Structure 1
Amino acid sequence: MSAYPKTTALMRRGAEFLGSEHAILCGAMSWVSERNLVSAISNAGGFGVIACGAMTPELLDAEIAGTRALTDKPFGVNLITMHPQLFDLIAVCAKHGVGHVVLAGGIPPKGSVEAIKAFGAKVIVFAPTLALAKKLLRSGGDALVIEGMEAGGHIGPVATSVLAQEFLPALADDYLVFVAGGIGRGEAMAGYLEMGAVGVQLGTRFACASESIAHPAFKQAFFRANARDAVASVQVDPRLPVIPVRALKNKGTEEFTAKQREVAQLLDEGKVEMGEAQLLIEHYWAGALRRAVIDGDVENGSLMAGQSVGMVSKEEPVADIIAEVLAESEAALSRR
């Protein structure tokens, strides 16, 4: 018997799809969602996801192997669609028999979904609009994550609660939809499950778990922060379509504005193409994140965090976080 019967019943389709006990995905956070955190989440009954980010195929190969050494439970890999070596990264996932690949950061390029499905993996996609969601699901996506602007890292312009009201009634009967962005407690999770979601994705709640390798200074910045400290980056030049990023406000946030100006000038001078310009921005984020997460430079690094950061007040084991949100969800559903 499940300790959370009502929650488990609503998550059943999602858990069966993921092969995990609970349909709670870990958001892919570069430098944070690596073998230690990913394996801990999967071992605790959730579904860990490796953040490939700007990794080379060789690094991803080592990370998947390292994760496998720490868990025999299912986990996934998140790939950025604009990565110049995307198909090489897919080949690495194929080599390891990865069961689920999450494609994030834009519309999957031609042939990528087919390449993933060719080795039997499930494809999880993101979509900012209902029309695009339907298109991606019809053309091979096995499940969808809808992520609201409250999330940390790269964000869209619409709130989670609005996306859920728009997408779930239209898709939940026929497709598997997970909800992400700003979910910090089980009561919110219960609400989305009742609306038809098959599970949720949490990022910020897991970033400071005991098993997270994030630097103590990075974790302390989260513990001190409240919701309004997690701000979205500003777009400097309309010709440079930079996806906004939500992070805790610091010097690094200001430096990103300067970086955009620098890249926009390179575009002006014809020194880079648009695709290359966007990659320069992505590499900037990868470096800025590393400075904060690994080196603990919380002044100049990037402290990517969702608005649920105010609900992160202490370091605790992944298993406790999962048990807490499940218990809150179950209590909320039992009060209905």
Structure 2
Amino acid sequence: MTAARAELDRLWARGTEFLGCKVAIMGGAMSWVSERHLVSAISNAGGFGVIACGSMNPAQLEAEIAATQAMTDKPFGVNLITMHPQLDDLVRVCLAGKVGHVVLAGGIPPGGAVRAVKDGGARLIAFAPALVLAKRMVRSGADALVIEGSEAGGHIGPVSLTVLAQEILPHIREVPVFVAGGLGRGEAILSYLDMGASGAQLGTRFAAAAESIAHPNFKRAFLRANARDALPSVQVDERFPVIPVRGLVNEGTKRFLKHQADTRDRFQSGELTKEAAQLEIEHFWAGALRRAVIEGDVEQGSVMAGQSVGMVTSIQTTAEIIAELMSQATAALAARSGK
């Protein structure tokens, strides 16, 4: 197995070198979940934790970075949403806090933010949902890419990782590419390393980790769930677009369907303008993720989860999860070489 481990290290050497860690496994940035405890635990276990800034203001992010640094001396990153109204200030907070890697997610990164990250000496990681955008991100200065398939939890694109990997990995060689979406076992990670990926990003497996501050009800929902229980949100009327979010089906998701239909009817009767109706639909889930993750309301809250949730069968420490993934990958490599 020593030779197999050496081969695994060779396969993801570009990823570990880029991230500055021993294991090229990034933690997915999950709002309310990816905070100091989980992020530091992933980094301390040899992986690469990523703080989910989400809707934090600059002062909150500054405190979170400092608290994480107090819990680990290993590298970690910060994920910023490009639509955040204080994006420039958040970038400055990351640079002042000596964060080495900044992830810009949720849209095409603005040129000003890209330049600020690069000029500040940090490495920029961007998401690429298609080959044409991957090439554009590289041209605009991204130092690495994440390609995330629709199997992932939370906000998703329309294309599976299986297809994205085939579309993008053979053509993007200039920067490291990390794969994400539906990953729950080491053999799967290995298959994408073989295709040219430099590492992987996992969220769902870590959301239910022992160090995750998610409510016990939230973790128990993961333990009970199968892959088919993690479905994207459904849009009732194309006039009122719904951003697809993958999560566990519960009473809240059923109420959302009825809420959309009722709101559409109020629009058609003239009670609401189109803009007001759209806002009514968008506001339905306001605070719903926090209700599930922090307060434990897994029936009415938003239980975001990827399809790999079916592979969450026990509460493990992050170190155990990473060790298990590596053991699976090295066993597959050893079997391949007949040892």
Note whether the superposition's TM-score is higher than 0.5. Answer: yes
Instruction: For 2:301, give the aligned amino acid.
Output: G
Deviation at 1:257, TM superposition (A): 4.1
Is residue 118 of structure 2 the alignment partner of residue 139 of structure 1? no
User: Partner amino acid for 2:95?
Assistant: A
- Give 2:196's aligned amino acid: G
Give, as a single letter, the amino acid of the residue that structure 1 aligns with 2:87.
L
SS in 2 for 1:170: coil
Question: Are the equivalent residues in 2 in contact too, given 1:97–1:119 (CA < 8 A)?
Answer: no
Identity among equivalent pairs (%): 65
Mapped pair 1:322 → 2:322: yes
User: Could you tell me how far apart the structure 1 residues matched to 2:20 and 2:179 are?
Assistant: 18
Residues 214, 293 of structure 1: 8 Å contact kept: yes
Aligned equivalents of 2:58, 2:22: Cα separation in 1: 30
With over 3 angstroms needed to count, the CA separation of the structure-2 counterparts of 1:66 and 1:10, relative to structure 1, is same
Q: What does residue range 1-336 of structure 1 map to in structure 2 within 5 Å?
A: 4-171=5-172, 173-257=173-257, 268-270=273-275, 281=282, 285=285, 287-336=287-336
Q: Please, what TM-score do these two structures have when normalized by structure 1?
A: 0.92
- Runs of 4+ aligned structure 1 residues displaced above 2 Å come to 235-243, 254-272, 283-286
Offset from partner CA, 1:223-259 (integer Å, 9 cap, x none)? 0000000000012343554431000001222344466
Asked which structure has the greater CA Rg, the reply is 2
Secondary structure of the structure 1 residue equivalent to 2:124? strand
Report the AA paired with residue 174 of structure 2: D
Q: Which runs of 5+ in 1 are unaligned?
A: none
Q: Is the 8 A contact 1:53 1:286 kept in 2?
A: no
Q: What SS class does the counterpart of residue 200 from structure 1 fall into?
A: strand
Deviations 1:134-177 (A, max 9, x none): 00111110100000011101111111111111111111x32210
Q: Residue type matched to 1:46 in 2?
A: G
Q: Is the 1:30–1:286 contact (alpha carbons within 8 Å) kept by the matching residues of 2?
A: no
* Shift in alpha-carbon separation, 1:300–1:169, aligned structure 2, 3 A: same
Tell me the SS of whatever aligns to 2:212.
coil
Give me the whole-angstrom Cα distance separating, in 2, the residues matched to 1:210 and 1:161.
30
- Tell whether the 8 Å contact from 2:4 to 2:333 is kept in structure 1 after alignment: no
Q: How many angstroms does 1:52 deviate by? A: 0.7
Q: Which amino acid aligns with 2:112?
A: G
In structure 2, relative to structure 1, the CA distance for the partners of 1:109 and 1:233 (3 Å cut) is: same
TM-score (ref. length: structure 2): 0.91
Cα distance in 2 for partners of 1:286, 1:3 equals 47
Question: How far has the Cα of 1:44 moved from its partner?
Answer: 0.4
Question: How far apart are residue 284 of structure 1 and its match?
Answer: 5.8
In 2: Cα distance, 1:227 partner to 1:43 partner: 29
Structure 2: gaps spanning 5 or more residues: none
For 1:73 and 1:284, how far apart are their aligned partners in 2? Answer: 39
Distance (whole Å) between structure 2 residues aligned to residue 114 and residue 215 of structure 1: 39
